[in-house]
Amino acid sequence: MNYLSINDIDSLPDWVNEAIEIKKNPLQYKSLGANKTIGLLFFNSSLRTRLSTQKAALNLGLTPIVMNFSNEGWALEFEDGTVMDQGKSEHVKEAAQVISQYCDIIAIRAFALLKDKKKDLSEEVLKNFTKYATVPIVNMESSVGHPLQALADAITLAEFNSKKAPKIVLSWAPHPKALPHAVANSFVQMMQLQNAEFVITHPKGYELDPEITKNTPITYNQEEAFKNADFIYAKNWSSFSDYGKVLHQDKNWMIDQKKMELTNNAKFMHCLPVRRNVIVSDEVLNGENSLVIEQANNRTYAAQLVLKRILEKGKK
């Protein structure tokens, strides 16, 4: 069993319920990972993912081995059939097979580089590790998705939602740098498995990949979208059509108290790290309706659920 995307969740309600069970007593499966290791391979920076995945592993008795590929290992080649006479020292074919011999599970973080759309869409790093590894692979954010984040978000929604079909808004918000689409993509995919009135709002030109958004309603009018919302999920991303570009700063898209007042006393969500007073005002982020800290907390239980399921499958 791999956990590469939201598509690997067979039943979201079951997963969420089980994660909430784990959260009540995180050490109940402590023997499951005994004498096993998980390799956490980082090609990019990480705080929540780095620490929560280690914590989740430890709760399962699984030993985490962290490796920062960017400065601790060798530059990897991903193309097939190349003459490797340039900067890359090792091919993913060997790296993935070899690491599979030392680690019982491999988790990988490799962001979109936002230079080459086709390459990013291919999830080169994640997919090649998956292809050549002989052990389960966990996506700790790839160029296309961040399904551990989306699973933590689903847990958080379940904990704070009291409606049958709440109105949930994914709102683009401004950011000075070009950011990947992974978090937004996985959130959208996760929402498609939820009973909810789900709306995406962003300025023109920031449409996400239509193969992911499918028929999700999209509006360019943020205030319209916020009306009656029960949850506001903020996130920046760069343009998908004009790939990887920051089209304009759109400071008026920042989420502040005034906009939140348009909602049905909505909860505020963000995956973190968040730029204060750029994405969201201090007032909203510090407010009692902000769920961002609990979302981060649920990263542990999302990871623990995924690792538990992988370890259990491995036993069969």
**Could you say which DSSP state residue 86 is in?**
S
Closer CB to a second copy, 218 or 278, in the complex: 278
Q: Using DSSP bridges, classify how beta strands 63-68 and 37-42 pair: parallel, antiparallel or unpaired.
A: parallel
- Annotated binding-site positions: 46-49, 74, 109, 141, 146-149, 175, 235, 271-272, 275, 299
Closer CB to a second copy, 55 or 117, in the complex: 55
Residue 242, C-beta contacts closer than 8 angstroms, at least 6 positions apart: 205
Nearest to 111 by CA among 238, 213, 8: 238
Closer CB to a second copy, 112 or 188, in the complex: 112
As measured in angstroms, the least distance from the Cβ of 120 to a second copy is 21
> What percent helix, strand, coil does the chain show, rounded to 5?
40, 15, 45
Closer CB to a second copy, 9 or 179, in the complex: 179
- Annotated binding-site positions for N(2)-succinyl-L-ornithine: 141, 175, 235, 275
CA–CA distance, 93 with 100 (Å, rounded to integer): 11
Q: What angle do CA 154, 155, 160 make, to 5 degrees?
A: 95
As measured in angstroms, the least distance from the Cβ of 64 to a second copy is 8
As measured in angstroms, the least distance from the Cβ of 278 to a second copy is 5
**Could you say which DSSP state residue 7 is in?**
G
As measured in angstroms, the least distance from the Cβ of 103 to a second copy is 7
Closer CB to a second copy, 48 or 167, in the complex: 48
What is the residue whose two structure tokens read 């407010």? 287
Query: Six-digit token pair at 198?
Result: 């789900």
Residues that bind a second copy in the complex, under the rule CB under 8 A:
27, 30, 35, 37, 39, 42, 45-48, 50-52, 54-55, 58-59, 63, 65, 67-68, 71-74, 77, 81-86, 88-91, 93-95, 97-99, 101-103, 176, 272-278, 282, 286, 292-293, 296-297, 300
Half-sphere exposure of 97 (CA within 13 A, CB side): 5
As measured in angstroms, the least distance from the Cβ of 35 to a second copy is 6
